Amino acid sequence: MNTLTSEAGSKKIMLIEDNCLTLNQIGDFLRAQGYQVIPCQHCEEAVTLLNEVTPDLIILDIIMPDLDGYEFCGWIRAHPRLKMVPVVFLTARDRTEDKITGFKIGGDDYITKPFSMEELLARIEVILQRMDNFHELSMRDELTNAFNRRYFKERLHEEIHRVKRTGRPFSVILLDIDYFKRINDQHGHYVGDYVLIQFVSFLRNHLRRTDLVARLGGEEFVLLLPDTSSEKAFLMAERLRKSLGEATFQYNENGIIKNIRFTVSAGISCCPEHGEDAEGLLALADRALYSAKSSGRNTVKIATGT
């Protein structure tokens, strides 16, 4: 049974094979399992397509008419955007030294012809599951399970490109827990960690599914809100601020309940209203956050200027 069937439809597999019969057979089989297949008969064709799309996995023949499969794998591994895409060699070369060369050049698996479609599928599933697990770990904050700074910046650049294509705005909200040091000093760092975890849970419960929550570090968080103007972002931040101000979080310390309450300050910037530069948008939101904290905290401010 295909254990990844429910997720296969979102996975793109590039298949580079100069034999039309093999190309069609594998392509038809993988499509039947729910995968999106990008067929290529030549490496040159694959290069052109890879300028437009990032596949989840590449199946690559070694003996190709225009470029040796080993060389092409080396090109993939040298490409910043593609270097983490897994490559499965599928070839008639079955010598041990060929396999060693394939792994050394950056291949993730090596399958020799003739082969079983079921075995190919099983190997693909194992690799994709491993990549999913790795990606999930690499983009999450270990304590709160919010997205981390690196993943947020990737998504921020993607949103900027989307705005340039569609014209639809997005907003960034920087959030800082007010007087967080006092919480640590009065109750200890375990309670401080509890507050950070509960704050992320609170945000997720009050945001749309399309909104992103990331931890930038310490007690500072950021929200990425697609299709949201600065005015709508302000209303959303105000609702969050007021709801948080009315909430009480109970920390159980050896049977003793501690009632923890805290507030948050926020700064907002919007693309394209405040510009289309990632660092500039963050700097403006940070300036607005500083203004909110300078105004007495527990306040929301929208960026001014560009």
Q: Is the pLDDT of residue 303 over 90?
A: yes
pLDDT in the model for residue 4 = 39
**3-class DSSP assignment, residue 165:** helix
**Alpha-carbon radius of gyration of the chain:** 25
The answer to whether 260 touches 187, Cβ cutoff 8 Å, is yes
pTM value is: 0.68
The topology under which CATH files domain 149-302 is Alpha-Beta Plaits (3.30.70)
Q: So what's the pLDDT on residue 10? A: 81
Q: What average pLDDT is seen over the chain?
A: 92
Q: 180 phi and psi, to 5 degrees?
A: -65, -35
Q: Which residues are catalytic?
A: 219
Q: What CATH topology corresponds to 5-138?
A: Rossmann fold (3.40.50)
Q: Give residue 137's pLDDT.
A: 79
Which of 240, 248, 213 shows the shortest CA–CA distance to 298? 240
DSSP-derived pairing of the beta strands 249-253 and 256-260:
antiparallel
Residue 112 has pLDDT above 80, yes or no: yes
| Structure tokens belonging to residue 258 | 């501690």
> What is the domain partition of the chain in residue ranges?
5-138, 149-302
What are 134-174's pLDDT values in tens digits?
A: 887 788 999 999 999 999 998 999 899 899 989 999 999 99
Residue 293 pLDDT > 70: yes
Q: Let me know how long the chain is.
A: 306
Residue type, 15: L
The predicted structure's pLDDT at residue 6 = 39
Pair 271, 160: CB distance under 8 Å: yes
* Residue 8: predicted pLDDT: 62
Q: What is the mean pLDDT of residues 69-97?
A: 93
Could you tell me the two tokens for 225? Answer: 């809100």
Tokens of 40: 């290529």
Lowest mean pLDDT, pick from 82-86, 123-127, 133-137, 261-265: 133-137
220 and 175 Cβ atoms separated by less than 8 Å: yes
Share of the chain above pLDDT 70, in %: 96
pLDDT for 52 equals 84
What single-letter amino acid sits at 194? Y
- pLDDT surpasses 70 at 31: yes
Closest CA to 113 of 209, 243, 214, 18: 18
Q: What are phi and psi of 57, to 5 degrees?
A: -160, 150
256-260 and 109-112: which strand pairing?
Answer: unpaired
Distance CA 274, CA 259 (A): 40
Report the relative pairing of strands 249-253 and 264-271 from DSSP bridges.
Answer: unpaired
Return d(Cα 276, Cα 286) in angstroms, integer.
Answer: 16
Q: How far apart are alpha carbons 295 and 291 in whole angstroms?
A: 6
Instruction: Pick the closest to residue 285 from 156, 141, 178 (CA basis).
Output: 156
Q: Write down the H helix ranges in the chain.
A: 5-8, 20-32, 43-50, 69-78, 96-105, 117-138, 149-166, 180-187, 189-206, 230-246, 278-294
The pLDDT assigned to 5 comes to: 39
Q: Is the confidence at residue 36, as pLDDT, over 50?
A: yes
Quick: pLDDT tens for 264-278.
999 999 999 999 999
**pLDDT tens digits, residue range 208-262?**
999 999 999 999 999 999 999 999 999 999 999 999 999 999 999 888 899 999 9
CA neighbor of 203 nearest in space, from 182, 225, 218: 225
pLDDT at 2 over 70: no
Quick: pLDDT tens for 86-96.
Answer: 999 999 999 99
